[in-house]
Structure 1
Amino acid sequence: MLDHALPSVAIFLSITRLQNIHGENIAFGKDAKQSSTTTGYSAIRALDITYSKVGSVTGAGNPSWWEVDLRGYFSISNITLTASDSGYVSNLKNAYVEVMDKDVSLCPDVQVEWCGNVSSTVARKEKFTFTCNATFPIRFVRVTRRSSSNVKLNIGHIDVQGVGATKRCRSYYTPTTKRKVSIPSLTTSAITAGDCGILCQRNHSCIDFSYSTTASSEANCLLTKKEVPKNSVANIAWTMYTLDNCL
């Protein structure tokens, strides 16, 4: 059986991740990043409608891009980009949307599906909805803007609709000894680190987990939906496991 002493935890199973209630934005609360950032307008703002007046804004680049890691596998039905209600609004024009199964910055064998592109003119608060016809489970959504010169990318809000998809995968978790997640979303029991990892895979919101061989058998497996390592503390009795992006 798998244990935390191994250099990594590998889990083989057919999984359905993050089953979605119809109408819920499955990108909300997930991990977002962008090619660069105009101060005060980070990538995560595009996921929260509270900030949609301006949303996220990259620095000038070519290309400029924004990406969200859904931290699960989905069949995407549609993606809606909403333009900001600000002076940055023109920085959405001609942007295009793609979905991927892996992190394009880490993995050489990424599957990519083009979903659509924004028009060459954009009005404030205008919505652009794209249908994605990918035949493979999706984990990443990327918005890219290219031009003949350096440009910014501004997204007021992005809404991603879809349902959990089954993916036959081999998942690797990278261990960090003497640390544990500090804000577990679920405290439970597991026989081994591998069993704890399987519970994480099956849980609808789990990103990473921690396991201890010495903690109470009823509370030796901590699942978290918060970003790690930010959500971690030093603890000699625990090992923290972070899901590798390149699966």
Structure 2
Amino acid sequence: MSAHVVATLTLCLSVTRLQDTHGENIAFRKLAKQSSTYQGNTASRALNDTHSTTGSLTSDTNPSWWEVDLRGYFDISNITLTAANNGWVQHMRNAYVEVMDKNVSLCSDAQVEWCGNVSSTVTKKEKFIFICNATFPIRFIRVTRRSTENIRLSIGHVDVQGVGATKRYRSYYTPTTGRKVTNPSMTTSAITAGECGIHCHRNHSCIDFSYNKTASTESNCLLTYEVVPQNYVASNAWTMYTMDNCL
């Protein structure tokens, strides 16, 4: 099967993308980004409680925003924003939280639900809990600060609680040749890249996969459950498939 065909693989099934993870932070080690980054305080730091003292911080922009791609569909029960434990806490004032089913920067038909906003006064390590009443499965969460001038956005920690949602959709994967998963969450076999993609769907926690048609049939399909920068490396004969943002 050609890469083009696999990239537009269609499954006519309702699929639960990720397993029930209630009680765990379903955003941990997922794909986070922000409008800009100040002195190495990257978006991913807000998803790791180890870095909650400083968390993430943008440079001066307007608006300033932070976003996480959950790489699957969820019914969200609550989202908790915790302020940093330093002098940056004022940079979370009046920030508001939204959830969406698609990447709002790329997809013109994204559904968006407003969840609430942080108060105009914030103290160190203060927590703000948002209940989002979205009627659609959620994949993206965005935190935004707007003003009449350039401002920063600081977040100490983001915790997202929810359970895997069922969504009927056409599954498009973008292929990248010469790359593969370094530390797969599961290794299995597949005759074609399309079959490897089906394995990814059936293992509910899978978010991306890699396939090599010439590798051993016992280990030519690699599934990954987490998005971390060091999890993908250059490797000839392998192709990495990542889920499209506009499903």
Question: Going by fraction, where is strand more abundant, 1 or 2?
Answer: 1
Aligned counterpart, 1:220: 220
- Gaps in structure 1 of 5+ consecutive residues: none
Structure 2, unaligned runs of 5 or more? none
Structure 1 residue 28 corresponds to structure 2 residue 10:
no
How far does residue 5 in structure 1 lie from its aligned partner after superposition?
Answer: 6.1
Secondary structure of 1:10's aligned partner: coil
Q: Is the 8 A contact 2:60 2:151 kept in 1?
A: yes
Q: Are 1:9 and 1:193, in contact at CA under 8 Å, matched by a contact in 2?
A: no
What's 1:10 paired with?
9
Structure-2 residue corresponding to 1:233 = 234
Tell me how large the CA RMSD over aligned residues is. 1.8
C-alpha contact (below 8 Å) 1:183/1:226 kept by paired residues = no
The CA deviation string for residues 153-188 of structure 1, in whole angstroms up to 9 with x for no partner, is 000111111000000011111223343323222110
Tell whether the 8 Å contact from 1:89 to 1:124 is kept in structure 2 after alignment: yes
Match of 1:147 in 2: 147
Partner of 1:58: 58
* Alignment-mate amino acid for residue 182 of structure 1: T
Distance 1:50 1:219, change over 3 A: same
Alpha-carbon distance change, 175 to 77 in structure 1, aligned in 2, over 3 angstroms: same
Q: CA deviation at 1:212?
A: 2.3
Deviation sequence 1:88-139 (CA, Å, 0-9, x none): 0011110000000001111111000000101111111111101000000000
- Percent identity reads 69
Moved more, 206-215 or 147-156: 206-215
**For 2:169, what is the secondary structure of its paired residue?**
strand
- State how many pairs are aligned: 245
What is the distance in 1 between the residues matched to 2:157 and 2:243?
27
Is the partner of 1:6 in helix, strand or coil?
helix
Kindly provide the CA deviation profile for residues 49-95 of structure 1, in whole angstroms up to 9, marking residues without a partner as x: 11111110111111100000000100001101111111100111100
Aligned-pair CA distance for 1:235:
1.5
Rounded to whole Å, the distance in 2 between the matches of 1:42 and 1:180 is: 24
Q: Secondary structure at the match of 2:9?
A: strand
The separation in 1 between residues aligned to 2:58 and 2:136, in whole angstroms, is 29
How far the C-alpha of 1:20 sits from its partner, in A, is 2.9
Which residue does the alignment assign to 1:40?
Answer: 40
Report the residue type matching 1:133 in the other structure: N
Partners of 1:208 and 1:228 within 8 A in 2: no
Q: CA deviation at 1:230?
A: 6.1
CA contact (8 A) 1:3 1:9 kept: no
